[in-house]
Amino acid sequence: MRPEALGVIGLGAIGGSVAWGASVAGVRRVIGYSPLPAETVAAAKAGAVTEVAQSVRQVMKQSEMVVIAAPPAATLTLLATIAPDLLSRGVLCTDVSSVKSPVVTEAARLRLGELFAGSHPLAGTHQSGFDAARSDRFVGAVVYVTPTPTGAQGALEVADFWQGVLKATPVTIDAEVHDRMLAWTSHLPQVTASALAAALARTGPPGVTYGSGARDTTRLAASSVEMWRDILLLNRDAVLVTLDGLEDQIGVLRQALVARDEAAVAAWLEAGAAWRRGLGE
Amino acid sequence: MRPEALGVIGLGAIGGSVAWGASVAGVRRVIGYSPLPAETVAAAKAGAVTEVAQSVRQVMKQSEMVVIAAPPAATLTLLATIAPDLLSRGVLCTDVSSVKSPVVTEAARLRLGELFAGSHPLAGTHQSGFDAARSDRFVGAVVYVTPTPTGAQGALEVADFWQGVLKATPVTIDAEVHDRMLAWTSHLPQVTASALAAALARTGPPGVTYGSGARDTTRLAASSVEMWRDILLLNRDAVLVTLDGLEDQIGVLRQALVARDEAAVAAWLEAGAAWRRGLGE
């Protein structure tokens, strides 16, 4: 779908990029709303939006399609708030949160059916706020699209929006499969980086120099706390399974070190090295 | 010290950079040896060495100062092999391995005293081999220099080599203090990246897309297996202490998730986020 009037609720790194990309792609009206006045001003100055709304209600009055770009828990609240407007005016809606099953379940409960499909663009950054928005953030990026149980057509329209307007590569996937997969590919890396950073903060030596390796490995730890709190709690069961997987591996190394088992330490390192080399830079 | 003839044993990412930097800095003779013929050829072609030696023995006959640039366990073996030559000709020697206490202890046992000081340049890379060598790798880089118990003067000369010839910033430090510090700042990040990579390799879903976050967090896992096997085993006790620190933090998150304690999850994430933001990009 290529809307004439697109509403974007939330103008941070992702919402700001959706609005900006749509403006650049020639969507006639891009109506932005952010609860943070500074973000609204920055988005307007950059030309990322064509109009600034003063409230979610005002966005809903004018938009043909709405993108909710808020942290996951706020996304659930907003969806319930705007559901009556979506239903009464037949407005298509999507969101951009990293956890999809709770959002799709809530959309189904609100009987949005064809009017909602979840989205998760793989174009995140550990930076947050409109400063991290880019008009071309989604060009070529994979965007997972998760239909409601009765929303195959809505998912097609949402996928068409990502592809046609923002030049992304939409991939339709079941919300629960998505969440279990992302627990490994995204949530576990985040937790690992945060755990290392927390360990260094709490127990590491003070006033020391960190090289590029430690910086790379902990970079994700600087991500939005609010967003990740929501993601980890909403995808709790799948995340706990991945924590088992990580702790198992630390245990394998610990045992090999305690036994001074050279071959076992090397085999353990090799498993990770082979996998990482296969991933490319 | 600015030698007229510098011997470099090992021409990988670090040894190749030492040789190349010295050649560029105008050291008259840079005599390189590598057990890998391809690396010797690449170093000679690049002009990183002025002469190629066919054996360690040949390096020892001609050099005024020798840099051992091998994995940690091989460094210990090489040091014992060349100690008689170092002593008989009064040649200054250093190494570049990431674990310093075993090397300094071995040098003391071999009665090298003033003729040896350990070095650890903080200019590593997850890449290995001469392809990753750079003539300016050490410019501005911190290089830890660790004296033997009777080697204060030798450490000054080694520090002077790093600073005067390779434009690095030498920092003299006790070897044991160095190893405990590096267990946190370097060895734990390596182990964390390898554990995450091993978990994803073993238990993660096949054929999925990884974003920049997972790539950053696992980048170190591609590092040299042989080198890291040696480092982890030679610094075993300190590394095991850091594993406790990491596992404690994973445990804190696990408990907060199991209890669905929003505030605790947020506080845990915030500890890592604050630390990482303080580190800068």
pLDDT of B79 > 80? The answer is yes
A226: which chain B residues are within 8 Å (Cβ-Cβ)?
A: 266
| In a shared domain, residues A153 and A187 | no
Considering CB atoms only, which of A186, A198, A273 is closest to B249? A198
| In a shared domain, residues A166 and A247 | no
Q: What would the two tokens of residue A170 be?
A: 């939409």
Q: What is the mean pLDDT of chain A?
A: 96
* CATH classification at residue A117: 3.40.50.720
Q: What would the two tokens of residue B22 be?
A: 């010295």
| In a shared domain, residues A194 and A118 | no
Distance, in Å, from the CA atom of B72 to the CA atom of A68, rounded to the nearest integer, reads 53
| In a shared domain, residues B169 and B186 | no
pLDDT in the model for residue B180: 96
When scoring B137, B212, B217 by the number of chain A Cβ atoms within 10 A, the one with the most, hence best to mutate, is B217
Considering CB atoms only, which of B209, B246, B258 is closest to A122? B209
Please name the residues between 163 and 182 in chain A that touch chain B, using a CB distance below 8 Å: 180-181
pLDDT of A281 > 80? The answer is no
A223: which chain B residues are within 8 Å (Cβ-Cβ)?
A: 213, 273
Q: Final residue of a domain: which of A125, A154, A173?
A: A173
Angle at B157 between CA B156 and CA B163, to 5 degrees: 85
Q: Final residue of a domain: which of B174, B196, B228?
A: B174
Distance, in Å, from the CA atom of A255 to the CA atom of B243, rounded to the nearest integer, reads 11
Neighbour-count burial for A160-173, b at 16+ CB within 10 Å, e otherwise: ebbeebbebbbbbb
A236: which chain B residues are within 8 Å (Cβ-Cβ)?
A: 257, 260
| In a shared domain, residues B216 and B143 | no
| In a shared domain, residues B156 and B183 | no
pLDDT tens digits for range A103-118 = 999 999 999 999 999 9
B180: which chain A residues are within 8 Å (Cβ-Cβ)?
A: 205
Average pLDDT value for residue range B226-252: 96
pLDDT tens digits for range B199-217 = 999 988 888 888 889 999 9
With 0-12 / 13-18 / 19 or more C-beta atoms within 10 angstroms meaning exposed / middle / buried, residue B26 is: exposed
Q: Final residue of a domain: which of A173, A208, A229?
A: A173
When scoring B200, B215, B242, B281 by the number of chain A Cβ atoms within 10 A, the one with the most, hence best to mutate, is B200
| In a shared domain, residues A238 and A202 | yes
ipTM score for this prediction: 0.87
pLDDT tens digits for range A117-169 = 999 999 877 788 999 999 999 999 999 999 999 999 999 999 999 999 999 99
- Judged by a CB distance cut-off of 8 A, whether residue B204 touches chain A is yes
Among chain A residues, CA nearest to B280: A215
pLDDT of B190 > 90? The answer is yes
pLDDT classification of B1: cutoffs 50, 70, 90: confident
| In a shared domain, residues A148 and A197 | no
| In a shared domain, residues A169 and A182 | no
With 0-12 / 13-18 / 19 or more C-beta atoms within 10 angstroms meaning exposed / middle / buried, residue B120 is: buried
pLDDT classification of B58: cutoffs 50, 70, 90: very high
pLDDT of B281 > 80? The answer is no
Residue A33 pairs in a beta bridge with: A9
* Residues of the domain holding A236: 178-279
Of B164, B122, B120, nearest in space to B22 by CA: B164
* CATH classification at residue A257: 1.10.3660.10
Query: Looking at the 3D structure of chain B, how many domains does it have?
Result: 2
| In a shared domain, residues A187 and A97 | no
Are the CB atoms for B101 and B120 separated by under 8 Å?
no
Per-residue 3-state assignment (H helix, E strand, C coil) for B188-208: HHHHHHHHHHHHHHHHCCCCC
| In a shared domain, residues A150 and A264 | no
- Judged by a CB distance cut-off of 8 A, whether residue A200 touches chain B is yes
| In a shared domain, residues B70 and B114 | yes
